[in-house]
């Protein structure tokens, strides 16, 4: 029964990511068209609109772009945190045997692209701050493409990629927390910790009212924003405090309910808006920069480093006998999925926004060029490779089937 429910949730998830991925592409193309048109001033002016919220002595004043990157993306990370917690407690991450292969593959997919980037940017201290940009995988794009390929890709590989992408997001969260936090405010961190502690206590008391968690979560976000730790991490921390289930007076899962409610908003609004706000790259002069260290490091990190890291780590683990090739899949299909892991887009753009501040605008434009080119070719090559590597299997129509 539980397995059937899990398959149903996974099928719905993949279908949703497919549709969201299409909208994501449209948003990115719209940004590119607008920035390279006579109306580029509208795009820039829109993102620079000052937005201010003040409650007493507490003030949050930022341009619209930073509200998107710090505010809306905190909701994106809240959803990631909910998914990770659910998978750890009762999903693909709850059994060690199911985690070993995608876990090691995810590690390889972080280390190798970072090394590729650092090799091409050594000697430039500012550029080296972007070492983590090509380590990310865009779960919406990658899973969306697999969903579109249907039964040409075994459902076991879709589960492999889903688990790998979740672990990859978890790695990105750790990287952001460790390497992209600034000078810390002890007072703000203390207040944020107090808000989270109250949420943990409410969890232990089996409080299921999501509104209370959301209000406290907003407080935690404000305090984290003021603390020097990147505000999006508040979303992950809040997610971990949401109860998976409350059995009395009747069984109810606040976590699954919130995840279900957030998913369409994230897929169809938040991620496309983020893509629109961050994908605008002027083509004039942009192509001339393509063969410099940052774009080349990112593009090759995504296009070469990611598949080498993911496939290489998987190959070593399987050949050494510590894991098995996903059921129904062959080595060629595993490599194709490894190529799709090079679609960094959303998370890469986000890490890029943290890597280079407003005083390094030229660097920021270079990272977007590398992300767009690397992700585009990873998507195209991955789709063609997987289409040629597999034949439709009527008994394996996607995520809804067993593995």
Q: In the predicted model, is pLDDT for residue 244 greater than 80? A: yes
Say what the pLDDT of residue 1 is: 47
Distance CA 361, CA 345 (A): 19
- pTM to 2 decimals? 0.77
pLDDT tens-digit series, residues 1-43: 445 555 565 555 555 556 677 788 888 889 888 988 888 889 8
Q: Which residues contact 254 (CB under 8 A, 6 or more apart)?
A: 208, 210, 213, 242, 243, 244, 245, 246
Least confident stretch, 59-68, 181-190, 358-367: 358-367
pLDDT tens-digit series, residues 303-341: 999 999 999 999 999 999 998 898 888 999 999 999 999
Q: Which residue has the tokens 């007072």?
A: 187
Percent of the chain scored above 90 by pLDDT? 31
Taking each helix axis from N to C terminus, what angle separates 186-204 and 232-241, rounded to the nearest 10 degrees? 20
Distance CA 197, CA 263 (A): 26
pLDDT tens-digit series, residues 152-176: 888 888 888 888 888 888 888 888 8
């Amino acid at each position: 029964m539980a397995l059937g429910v899990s398959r149903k949730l996974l099928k719905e998830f993949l279908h949703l990511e497919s549709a969201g991925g299409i909208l994501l592409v449209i948003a990115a193309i719209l940004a590119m068209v607008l920035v390279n048109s006579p109306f580029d001033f509208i795009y820039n002016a829109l993102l620079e609109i000052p937005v201010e919220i003040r409650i007493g002595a507490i003030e949050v004043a930022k341009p619209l772009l930073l509200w998107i990157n710090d505010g809306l993306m905190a909701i994106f990370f809240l959803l990631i945190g909910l998914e990770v917690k659910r998978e750890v407690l009762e999903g693909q991450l709850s059994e060690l045997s199911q985690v070993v292969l995608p876990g090691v593959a995810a590690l390889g997919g972080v280390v190798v692209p970072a090394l590729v980037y650092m090799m091409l940017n050594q000697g430039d201290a500012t550029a080296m701050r972007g070492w983590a940009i090509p380590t990310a995988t865009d779960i919406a794009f990658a899973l969306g493409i697999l969903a579109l390929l249907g039964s040409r890709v075994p459902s076991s590989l879709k589960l492999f990629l889903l688990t790998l992408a979740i672990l990859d997001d978890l790695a990105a969260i750790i990287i952001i927390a460790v390497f992209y936090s600034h000078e810390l405010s002890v007072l703000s961190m203390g207040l944020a910790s107090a808000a989270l502690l109250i949420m943990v206590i409410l969890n232990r008391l089996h409080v299921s009212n999501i509104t209370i968690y959301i209000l406290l979560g907003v407080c935690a976000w404000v305090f984290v924003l003021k603390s020097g730790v990147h505000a999006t991490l508040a979303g992950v921390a809040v997610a971990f405090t949401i109860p998976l289930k409350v059995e009395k007076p009747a069984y109810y899962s606040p976590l699954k309910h919130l995840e279900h409610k957030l998913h369409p908003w994230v897929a169809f609004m938040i991620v496309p808006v983020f893509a629109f706000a961050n994908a605008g790259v002027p083509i004039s002069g942009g192509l001339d920069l393509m063969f410099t260290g940052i774009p080349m490091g990112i593009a090759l990190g995504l296009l070469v480093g990611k598949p080498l890291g993911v496939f290489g780590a998987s190959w070593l683990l399987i050949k050494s006998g510590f894991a098995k090739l996903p059921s129904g899949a062959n080595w060629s299909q595993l490599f194709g999925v490894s190529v799709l892991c090079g679609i960094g887009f959303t998370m890469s753009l986000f890490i890029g926004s943290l890597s280079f501040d407003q005083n390094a605008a030229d660097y920021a434009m270079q990272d977007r060029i590398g992300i767009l080119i690397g992700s585009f070719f990873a998507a195209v090559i991955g789709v063609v490779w997987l289409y040629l590597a597999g034949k439709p299997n009527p008994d394996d129509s996607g995520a809804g089937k067993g593995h």
